[in-house]
Structure formats: C-alpha cells, structure tokens
Amino acid sequence: MPTLTINGREVTVPQGATILDAARSLGVDVPTLCWYPQLPIVGNCRICLVSVAGSPKLVPACATPAADGQVVTTESVAAVENRRGVLSMLLERYPVHDIPDGGSRNEFEALVRRYNVPTTKRSPLPLRTGDERAGDPLIQHDMSTCILCTRCVRACADIQVVGVLDVAQRGEHAEIIVGADGNPEHAGCTWCGECVRVCPTGAIHDLIPLAKLKAESAAQPERTVRSVCPYCAVGCQIDLSVRGNDIQRVRSPWIEETTPNIGSTCVKGRFGFDFAMHRDRLTKPLIRRGWVKRDGTWRFEPSPDDVARWGRRGGPWREIREEATTRKQRPKFNPLQSLRLADAPLGDPRDRVATPKEWYEPFREATWDEALDLVASQLVRLRDERGPNSLAVFSSAKCTNEENYVLQRLVRGGLWTNNIDHCTRLCHSSSVSAMQRAMNTSAASGSMREVEHESDVIFILGANTTESHPVFGAAIKRAQKRGATLIVADPRRIELAQRADIHLQMLPGTDVALLNAMLHHVLECGLEDKEFIRTRTHGFEAVREAVAPYTPERAETITGVPAHLIREAAERYARGPKSSTLWAMGLTQHHTGTDIVTSLLNLLLCCGMIGRWGAAMMPIRGQNNVQGASDMGAIPMSYTDYLPVTDPSVRRMYAEAWGVPEERLSLTAGLKVTEIVKPESGVVGMYIMGENPIISDPDVAHAEEWFRNLEFLAVQDLFLTETARYADVVLPGSSFAEKTGTFVNTERRIQLAHKAIDPPGEARADLDILIELSNRIGLPAPFADASAVMDEIARVTPSWRGVSYARLEGSGLQYPVPDAQSPGTFFLFDDEFPTADGKATLTPVEFMPPAELPDAEYPFFMNTGRQLYHWHTGTMTRRATGLDSREPTPTVEINADDARALGIADGDPVRITSRRGSVVLSARVSPRVARSQVFLPMHYREAAANLLTRSDVLDPYAGIPEFKVSAVRIEPVTAERVEEGNGKRSTALGARPAAAESWSD
C-alpha cells in the first residue's frame, strides 16, 4: 500500500495502482486520451505525463506504478508544456476549422480548450485518413478527426474480443483500418459499436436513424435517460439520448459504473431502438369492423361481404403458411452497398416487413373508452357464461414486472382463472421444472461477473452466447483470455465452439447420454465432491446406478462425440476448482428438456459446482424480463415468488392483499401456453399482451387456425402483429422507452428503466391500460404509478420484500432482498438449498432420443434459434432499420458438403419441408452446421421456422415443445416450383425470368 503525494496531498493506494489511479482517487483530473478504464494501458498519447520529484524525465501517469514516497506534480510547468505540445501536434492534422469558437465538441477538443492551445495550423501535414465505412448502415468513420489513440483497436480486441480494427502503416501514414481489406464483414465485425463508445473525437460514430426522427429532433439531445435494453436477459443498462419525443441514439453508461454490461452493448442494444419510432406504431385503439354497441351490449355483426371474403376474423392477407412458400430475394452479400433510395418512393427500402396497409382494413379506429369497454365486457361475459377457464391470457416477458404483476392479479382476482402464461413456456420452463425438482429454485444461482472473473472452467451447453447474449458472450471470451478453460457442448460450431478448449459437438438431442457419460467418468475417476454429495444431496446412489451403463464409449455411439473428449471434458469440469455451468435453449427445447437439464444438474451437484463465488449455475434467460415475468407469477402454477396456486394458505394471503373473496382465486393450476393453443383446451377467449404466438408457437399453421377460431381475442401491442391482425380489439401499448418499470435480468438483478418519451398518438403506457382494464372488470387496482405497484409486489413477495424504487437506482438489486437493509444476493446456496431439509435431490434420468428422427423421407435434423441481428418474431428488430439491413432475408444454414450433394450454392433458394409444412428461403452455406443438419432462424414471418416444428410432443413436466429437433428434407427450388407450391401465380413472379440468377439480385 504505497503512500504518495500528489499536488501536495497525500494519498495511500493499493499495490499495483498507477499514479493516474492515485490522482483519480483524489479527484485530481489528469488529462488522458489513449487511456480508458479497463483497456490495456499503452501509454501512447503522452498527454498524461506528470512530474515526479527526482525523475529527470516526465513520466506517464497512466503507466507508472505509484510508489511509496513519490512526490507528483500533475500540472507542473514541464507537464503543461508537454501537454500543449501534444495537443498542438495533434491539431496539426485535425480539421481545426470545425472546432466551434471557444467551445468544443468532444473529449479532445475539450482538452484543447482546457490548455488553451491555439487552433492555428503551422505545418503542411495533411488531415489524417483511415478506413472509412462508406455505406455502412450503422457505423461510419470520419478519420480526419482520428487522433490515433487506438482506444477503438483495444476496445474491439480486448473488451469485445473480436479484433476488427488495427493500426496499419507507420509514421505519419499510420491509420486505423477495418480488417485487412476495409470490409468489416470479412473481419468478423459484429457491429456492437464498442468503437463508437470509446472514440474520444467522434471519428468513429454511429448513424442516427434520421428517417425516423422528426426534423427538429436531429439537433443536440435535450436529455439523457437511463433505461434497460429491451432485448436479451443480460439486462444491459443503456442511456437514451432524447430530444423532443424522439430517441436519437443509445449511449453506453460509463464503463466504471456497476452495470451488468459495464457499459458495453451489442448491436441490438445500440442500434435496435428505432422500432419505437417506426411509422407502423399503433396510435389509436382498433376495433374489428362489425362490433357494435346497442342497448348497452356489444354485438358482433359483420357485414356479409367481410364474412364472405375473410370469414369470422380473417383479413386481406396471406396466412403464414402461404407466405412461407413465396420467393425471397436475398441481396448480393455486400453489407456496405449503398441503398437505392430512389427506388423506394415510400421511404426506406429496408423496411421490408412494415405492416402491409391492407392489414388495417378489417379494423376501425376507436376511442379508448369503447375499446376498453368492449374488452372488459367480453371478458366478463365469457367468464360468467362460459366459465373462468374459457379464458386465457398471455403475459409478456418484454413487459415490466409491474405490468406482469398487475396482469396476473387481474387474471386471478378478476377473471378467476390461473390460465396465464408467457413465453417462458417456450424457453426455460424445462430448466425451471428441473431446478425446482432438484433444489426448489427457478433462477440462476450466480452472477455474470463471477463467470468473467473467477471461474476456472466455463461449461456452456446449447447456448450461442455471442449471438444471443452478445455482451455476456464477450465476457466469456474475456474470461477465456484471462485463462479460464472453455468447454462448449453444441451441435453447431458456433463462435464460442471455435474458440473453446473442448468442443463437444454432439448430435441434436443426445445431451442426456453425453452428460450421463461425463458423470460416469467423473465417478470412475473418483473426482466427485464426496463431501458435498454426502452433506448436501439426496439420491446419489440411484444416480450412480443410472449412469453406470453410460460409458464414454457407449455415449460416443449415441452422441457422436469421441469418448476421449467426453473424458477430458468431464475431468476438467470436475477438477475445476471453480466451474460455472451455463445453458440455454439447446438443452431446454426438447421433449426431454427437463431430463436433459436434470442430467446436467446431477453432474453439477456431484461435482459440487454451486454455492461458491466462481461456481455459478446459470440458465441464461432469453427475454429481458422472462425471469421477472415468471417471478411475478405470470405462469399458470404459481403466484409471485413461485408460491403455488394450489396451496390454500397462499391463496388466503393473496385474497387478503387484493381484497377479493378467497374462493374467487382458483386452487387449480392453469393451462400452459402449449396447452392453451389446442382445440381441446376449452379456451375461447384470450387477452394477449406483447406476444406474437402466431410466429413463436410450434406448428404455426395450426396455431394460426386456432386463433382464427377464438370467440374473442384482444391484443395489446406496439404493432399490428401477425397475431394482432386476428384480434377483435387491438390496444396500442408502449415500448420500453415509453414507460417506467423494472426488469429482472438473468442473474436475478432487478433494474429500473425510466420513461424517456411519450407513447405516440393516443397509445398508452401498458400499466395504465392494465389498471383501467382491471378496474373495469371489477378488480380495483389502486395504483398511482409503477412505484406503487412495486410496493405491493414487495409486500406479497418474500424474496423482494426489501425492494423499492428508491433502492433500485443505479445498479439495481439482485434478489433475494429479504429486507430494506439487504444489499441483495450475489450468489445463492452457499450453505443450503431452499428445500425442506436444505438438501438438493439428484434424480436419475435415462437417455431418450428426440421424438422425430431423420429418415429416408426427411433426412435432415432441423434446429431453430436466434441470429445476432434479429430478435424472436422480428416485431421489433425487423423495424429497426440498421438491424434489418444487416440481415434482411431469411436464410437456412447448411453444411457445404450437403449443399454440394444437393446442388445448392450459397444464396440459392431452397425449400425445407417437414411433416407439418414447408418454407422457401435462401441457403447460407456455413461451416457452423454439421452434415445432415440445418439451422433455421425463427425471426421471419415470410419463412416462419415454426411452420415446421412440432406441437404435439411436449416435455411431460414443463410442456415445452421440441423446437430444436425436427426431421426435414431440403431441396433446391426453381421459380416454377415455388409457384407450384404456392398454388397460384403472382404477377411479380410471372414477370421475372425463371432463371436461378433472378433469385439473388
């Protein structure tokens, strides 16, 4: 702990701290340019040089260790003279005429002003140059303002661990380059914008989505509002720059703030916000034509014309099934091509999924009073006439905790049913059921930071983290750089698999065999944590017997993973000493999802890899609030905090809290998403908030048919989605930026997002809508604002008891937060599990193959999932101009050998057919998929992957469908054959030559 003197003030700093650290701890502002917190120190700008007594030369504050007895002067004559010299030298090649008189626009110019450096040029040196990103839809360069601090190079290489940028040339010719050929695509750029964040001059800057802003909103932002990213469950905090009622851009919180993302974002977080200002936003409630109110009663009396054309609730659109087999244009693969704006008189040609105008035809605009009245009256009518269980509600993992809470309160206390569920059913429900069975928990045990900083081994299964949770993916890459061993189990050779120390590339759905074999080997080597097993678990003997037959050799025949790799992975995982276990959809979305997760938990518990800092158990959640929506009881079997609906004492507590008669609250668990959307479910009326099941449910064709046949459907959403177009009433809600509320990320962190702008037109905050609806159906919801809702949540939720808005500012709180003093809980289960006796239970599981295996007719495994640039059903990302321009069309990843055998070239149109349906989309020949496997992204309406998936085989515990394995066949398509499949001839298609070239223009 050296003690030194800076500008006459003494300070003691930790060993290893630099002079700069010491100065910062005193609040002494030493100017820096190349230095940036958490980036490697290179000390190249030379502006932080300070005087140290006894040293003949100035020393760089950023790179010189603080030493005992040092006497430092930060603004000595020599230091200031040097700084002026550095700044004036940098100014020689800077566009000085653009610096505002007496003012400054960026960090560098602020220093020029601070040191009063004249902005007149003396040298004939030319302005600096560098690689430009001409035509890039998201990030652009103006390298004349580059000062070569190389922050961007290091941010790319060391924070995001990508390495797109570098310095080329020497001396005065040195410049920042983008990959070897200037093409970010070739260099592996992920458009995360980390370079934008760190650039001190704006030489690297993001593009503002001007087309979506009002003209007057393009000037300097008026204010910055802290929010939480609306995409994945990493829960990145973001700062919205706002002017008027428009968001201009997303900025990163300062890197030294404690946020889950330490200020990083991914491409979606930084560039995916403009959907909120898209012209497709619903601004008024819509009511299906035909609903009339007479004598105080709503009746549906559609015109015979409409019925003849569309049926009870159709419209002038093609069903998902029909659309799937139309031709898809894939632009030639040049991400930087300039856009042909002239060709698109209606605006940005990239908005190719904007809501078609004719979709609005079956609706009329309505007042809020009418719309809410209609919804309330129909829900109450169905409840009373057809029974509470004829109703069902989809809540939303994209909505706040408060909204989910109020909605489930409304459903249970007002509609008297437990039929409420949300998309957790389709993602981690099997993790929850397995974790509930093993240790009575439903969330991750640890934190993302411990994985990054502490874990010795990181075992990731079925999680494409660098695309689906990119900010966490980067943290994992940093962990590996620090020395952690990375073991990846995934059928695809995704980025992390390529980087992994061990890649277990198993056949889809064979996880149980793999994990049982790993445990088998751990036990054979005696590497299990015997003490942990003895003191903290039940059921070990049964599991030992169950895994005994799973030798690595036998597993090799099932999984295709070489036995020696299974052994090595098992040993490294068990030896730890601190191994973290991460998994996502690759494990859960199987008809054996609960078994698969159970076999993983068996391995984890037998190795004792939980309950220590650095040994995290982490199901990586998908949506930004899927954890919170479940915590809030938007699931059919429990109230908040997973208190079971079947328990009468729990019921009594909630009945009291909500002021409803106890018998109104049902003691029967409700239906799950996958059970609701079935003819035999008995559900005839639905309220859907912010979900789009017609794209996200398995076997979409059947789902679409089912929704068509509902008696009443109300949808609360931002856009007229594929689901909303079938609604009787559409209520325009609010985007993440238009409301205050809390979200829970994958590490149980409750975070507060603030309202930045007002909803467009007459659209209302989601919470307002729900409160009013609740009041109208007879369940008073006496909440003045979101904060008041949180107070009630805290009252009824034991592990959130200490949560209040005042405490959530900043980095938020990781629950459990049992009281108002608790700092939250960074990791769980250090001494016991929340079970009756504090022990976890091991459950033996046997391998069962996927329900549908490839055969002669359908010879390929089909896997579905996410892409980097899109999100779920595309409702948001496909309306985010930049994101959609990066990935504009649906593609299927196919192995090069398979493609060759089938005569398919990259970009060719292909038809994928399963027993459920077929889609036409273009092929992307990719080394990531193994032979006989294809990967379909789930985001595209025009080629909905879920037309092919199966809805009739579900996990028996969790009810999750098998999204990850379907048997399909794949065939190249010519234009004629598309038409055949389509059954009709479209004029656009007919006008084109039938040659294959016309497919990829």
Binding site for other proteins (CB under 8 A): 41-47, 49, 56-58, 60, 63, 65, 82, 85-86, 89-90, 92-93, 122-125, 147-148, 150, 166-167, 169-174
Residue number, 203 or 543, with CB nearest to other proteins: 203
Rounded CA separation 479/457 (Å): 9
Nearest approach, Cβ of residue 457 and other proteins (Å): 22
Residue number, 57 or 340, with CB nearest to other proteins: 57
Which tokens is 705 given? 């048919």
Nearest approach, Cβ of residue 34 and other proteins (Å): 9
Residue number, 65 or 849, with CB nearest to other proteins: 65
Nearest approach, Cβ of residue 203 and other proteins (Å): 15
Residue number, 121 or 318, with CB nearest to other proteins: 121
Residue number, 123 or 367, with CB nearest to other proteins: 123
Rounded CA separation 998/974 (Å): 10
Which residue is it, tokens 């007895």?
69
- C-beta atoms surrounding 756 within 10 Å: 25
Which tokens is 123 given? 């040298």
Nearest approach, Cβ of residue 86 and other proteins (Å): 5
Nearest approach, Cβ of residue 153 and other proteins (Å): 10
Residue number, 50 or 715, with CB nearest to other proteins: 50
Nearest approach, Cβ of residue 121 and other proteins (Å): 11
Rounded CA separation 261/236 (Å): 5
Nearest approach, Cβ of residue 87 and other proteins (Å): 9
Residue number, 124 or 983, with CB nearest to other proteins: 124
Nearest approach, Cβ of residue 46 and other proteins (Å): 5
Rounded CA separation 573/552 (Å): 15
Question: How would you class 269 by CB atoms within 10 Å of its CB: exposed for 0-12, middle for 13-18, buried for 19 or more?
Answer: buried
Rounded CA separation 210/957 (Å): 49
Residue number, 169 or 367, with CB nearest to other proteins: 169
Nearest approach, Cβ of residue 47 and other proteins (Å): 7
Residue number, 62 or 250, with CB nearest to other proteins: 62
Q: What is the DSSP letter of 75?
A: T
Which residue is it, tokens 């030369």?
57
306-313: long-range contacts at Cβ-Cβ below 8 A with a sequence spacing of 24 or more?
306/362, 310/362, 311/708, 312/708, 312/709, 313/288, 313/362, 313/708, 313/710, 313/713, 313/726, 313/727, 313/728
Instruction: Label the pairing between strands 391-394 and 685-689.
Output: parallel
Residue number, 47 or 724, with CB nearest to other proteins: 47
Instruction: Label the pairing between strands 840-841 and 909-913.
Output: unpaired
Nearest approach, Cβ of residue 578 and other proteins (Å): 23
Rounded CA separation 388/682 (Å): 10
Q: Is 607 left (phi over 0), alpha (psi -120 to 50) or beta?
A: alpha
Residue number, 34 or 189, with CB nearest to other proteins: 34
Nearest approach, Cβ of residue 45 and other proteins (Å): 6
CA atoms within 13 A on the CB side of 162: 28
Residue number, 96 or 354, with CB nearest to other proteins: 96
Residue number, 170 or 534, with CB nearest to other proteins: 170
Nearest approach, Cβ of residue 61 and other proteins (Å): 12
Residue number, 93 or 672, with CB nearest to other proteins: 93
In contact, 119 and 91? CB cutoff 8 Å: yes
Q: How many helices (H) and strands (E) does the chain have?
A: 34, 37
Nearest approach, Cβ of residue 65 and other proteins (Å): 7
User: Which of 917, 912, 915, 919 shows the shortest CA–CA distance to 971?
Assistant: 912
Nearest approach, Cβ of residue 59 and other proteins (Å): 10
Residue number, 33 or 566, with CB nearest to other proteins: 33
SS3 280: coil
Q: What are phi and psi of 966, to 5 degrees?
A: -140, 155
Which tokens is 644 given? 């079971």
Rounded CA separation 278/485 (Å): 44
User: Which of 1000, 990, 996, 985 shows the shortest CA–CA distance to 325?
Assistant: 985
Nearest approach, Cβ of residue 170 and other proteins (Å): 5
Residue number, 90 or 156, with CB nearest to other proteins: 90
Instruction: Label the pairing between strands 71-73 and 3-6.
Output: parallel
Nearest approach, Cβ of residue 595 and other proteins (Å): 45
Q: What is the four-CA torsion angle of 660, 666, 671, 676, rounded to 10 degrees?
A: -60
Q: In what order do the strands lie in the sheet with 3-6?
A: 9-12, 3-6, 71-73, 49-52, 59-60
Residue number, 90 or 527, with CB nearest to other proteins: 90
Residue type, 565: L
Which residue is it, tokens 């990846």?
488
User: Would you list the DSSP string of 146-177?
Assistant: -----HHHHIIIIIS----EEEES-GGG-EEE
Q: What is the DSSP letter of 424?
A: G
Rounded CA separation 692/721 (Å): 7
Nearest approach, Cβ of residue 657 and other proteins (Å): 60
Residue type, 486: L
Rounded CA separation 344/348 (Å): 7
